[in-house]
Amino acid sequence: MNVLSLFDGMSCGQIALERARIPVANYYASEIKPHAIKVSTHNYPKTIHLGDVTQLNIDDLPIIDLLIGGSPCQDLSRGNKLRTGLDGSKSSLFWWYIKIFKELKKKNKDLKFLFENVIMPKDDQSIINDEFNYYPVNINSRLVSPQLRDRLYWTNIGDFSRDLFGQKISMITQPKDKNITLQSILVDGYTDRKKSRALLESDSRRLTTPSKMWHRYKSTGFTTIIFDHKSLDWNKGIRYLNQTVPDGYTSILSRDKAACLIGDGWTIDVIAHIFEGLK
């Protein structure tokens, strides 16, 4: 199988394919962050890097069997007050995914694809639905991890049904709930929450004082902190939560650069669950 990953990041797609035991002949990756390329190359030396998505020449590639990726979500996210949507400077990169998707389909009518993004306004979601002629499946990472991460996945992997207008509806099932709590995965420390919120780049950076961390946690809830003492007294030490990827996966990077990649990464077990349909 030949795979093309757009907006590849630190190659969570390769981890998921490996976890789902899907054999890959060639893995082509489009990514521009130097430290992301460094990590994926360190863990998967055979990765074929192609650079900027806007500069790809599909004619240089063999037949692609699987296209994957999730374009930048900042202009679609509920956390963005402006929400310029698919016309935004970052989220408009979605149209490059569509351009490449359509070019690949001309060469391989059996092309499989997976496109991931955040929960978004209905108008933007409808545009994406129409481009793929598929409705997405909504999966929250809480089922396979200790994290609340609600995401949409458009894919033709696995079975589908159709609505009254003929648009396809993905029949990917929900992953089995593993009932993983935040406390159960902590190597050390304590929490007062069953699940963490969706992790961001800022959660892994030590850029503030404990008092400010505590204030933000209590007043907004838009972060997850870990207590050093079982009394849950923040005065006895607190820290932000690190998202877990395979042990040592980002060990070649500084903490800040690793945080940048981890905050943007996929929930690997969700992706692996979808890839099971490739079998």
**Longest pairwise C-alpha distance within the chain:** 61
Looking at residue 225, what is its pLDDT? 86
Tell me the residue range of the domain where 97 lies.
Answer: 2-178+267-278
171 and 41 belong to one structural domain: yes
Query: Sign (positive/negative) of CA torsion 207, 266, 135, 52?
Result: positive
- Whether residue 226 has pLDDT greater than 80: yes
Average pLDDT score over residue span 99-103: 98
19 and 57 belong to one structural domain: yes
Average pLDDT score over residue span 96-110: 97
Structure tokens at 35: 């430290």
Looking at residue 206, what is its pLDDT? 53
Looking at residue 179, what is its pLDDT? 94
Looking at residue 77, what is its pLDDT? 82
Q: Which residue has the higher pLDDT, 201 or 143?
A: 143
243 and 207 belong to one structural domain: yes
Q: Counting beta carbons within 10 angstroms of the beta carbon of residue 68, is it exposed (0 to 12), middle (13 to 18) or buried (19 or more)?
A: buried
Q: In whole angstroms, give the CA distance from residue 149 to residue 91.
A: 19
In this structure, the strands spanning 66-69 and 48-49 are unpaired
pLDDT digits 0-9 by tens, 43-66: 999 999 999 999 999 999 999 999
The sheet that has 168-170: what strands, in order across it?
134-135, 168-170, 160-162
* Contact by Cβ (8 Å): 243, 262: yes
Q: What is the CATH number of the domain that holds 167?
A: 3.40.50.150
Q: In whole angstroms, give the CA distance from residue 225 to residue 29.
A: 34
Q: In whole angstroms, give the CA distance from residue 99 to residue 105.
A: 10
Q: What is the mean pLDDT of the chain?
A: 91
Q: In whole angstroms, give the CA distance from residue 235 to residue 140.
A: 33
18 and 153 belong to one structural domain: yes
Looking at residue 241, what is its pLDDT? 66
pLDDT digits 0-9 by tens, 174-206: 999 999 999 998 888 999 999 988 776 665 555
15 and 75 belong to one structural domain: yes
- Whether residue 207 has pLDDT greater than 80: no
The whole-angstrom distance between residue 56's C-alpha and the CA centroid of its chain comes to 22
Looking at residue 210, what is its pLDDT? 85
Looking at residue 264, what is its pLDDT? 83
Is this structure's pTM higher than 0.85?
yes
Looking at residue 143, what is its pLDDT? 95
151 and 226 belong to one structural domain: no
Looking at residue 200, what is its pLDDT? 67
Percentage with pLDDT > 70 across the chain: 94
Looking at residue 271, what is its pLDDT? 97
Amino acid identity, position 12: C
- For 79, other C-beta atoms within 10 Å of its C-beta total 12
187 and 173 belong to one structural domain: no
187 and 154 belong to one structural domain: no
- Whether residue 248 has pLDDT greater than 90: no
* Contact by Cβ (8 Å): 77, 120: yes
89 and 200 belong to one structural domain: no
In this structure, the strands spanning 66-69 and 2-6 are parallel
- For 217, other C-beta atoms within 10 Å of its C-beta total 18
Q: In whole angstroms, give the CA distance from residue 131 to residue 95.
A: 10
- Whether residue 252 has pLDDT greater than 70: yes
10 and 129 belong to one structural domain: yes
132 and 247 belong to one structural domain: no
Quote the number of domains for the chain. 2
221 and 273 belong to one structural domain: no
pLDDT digits 0-9 by tens, 5-47: 999 999 999 999 999 999 999 999 999 999 999 999 999 999 9
Q: In whole angstroms, give the CA distance from residue 26 to residue 44.
A: 11
